Amino acid sequence: MAIRRILTVDNAADLAVLKQVSKDVPAVDDALRALMDDMLETMYDAPGIGLAAVQVGELVNVIVMDLAREGEEPAPRHFVNPKITWSSDELFAYEEGCLSVPDYYDAVERPSKVKLTYLNYQGEAVEEEAEELFAVCIQHEMDHLAGVLFIDHLSRLRRDRAISKVKKARRAA
């Protein structure tokens, strides 16, 4: 396993990759499992609760996540070729953050419940309903696969402010 570099919005080349649309993978094989292992290690190291493959520069429809709270056993999860099949009309606002937009948080409103299908780490097809933090996180990560960042849901003013804040913090560091 290896920790990969996480692409961030303050770097123009990184941002260009983060804006790209990822593709479905043909199968879950050992190479893909190795990528998912790297992604989880990278995510735990950051630390974060979700990571899309594009955030480490791989344009494939793969997401890893762990929503265990502090003190709980780790609960790593893998989503390959995820598709949202249903979204609730009811919305839910949550203060989101993103490893590609370090140290910036802002409220985004999304459907409070979704149903999704995906392949798991073993390549088995799974159908699942998500609510609360799981719903927020899976929609945030699936946005990444479509080249969309959570700050793209904000007004242009707030989005620009977020990016300049990240840039300033990076220069200071």
Residue 148 tokens read as 């969309």
* DSSP per residue, 74-103: P--EEEEEEEEEEE-SSEEEEEEEETTEEE
Q: What angle do CA 156, 161, 162 make, to 5 degrees?
A: 100
Instruction: Output the smallest distance, CB 157 to Zn ion, in A.
Output: 21
CB nearer to Zn ion: give 47 or 122: 47
CA distance 138 to 115: 10
- Closer CB to Zn ion, residue 52 or residue 80? 52
Count of Cβ atoms closer than 10 Å to residue 152 Cβ: 13
- The answer to whether residue 109 is catalytic is no
Judged by beta carbon, residue 127 or residue 152, the one nearer Zn ion is 152
Comparison of 35 and 98: residue with beta carbon closer to Zn ion: 98
Query: Could you list the residues that contact Zn ion (CB under 5 A)?
Result: 98
Q: How far is the CB of 143 from Zn ion (least distance, A)?
A: 8
CB of 108 to Zn ion, least distance (A): 11
Minimum CB–partner distance for residue 13 and Zn ion (Å): 18
CA distances from 81 to 32, 74, 123, 150 (A): 12, 23, 10, 20
Enzyme catalytic residues? 141
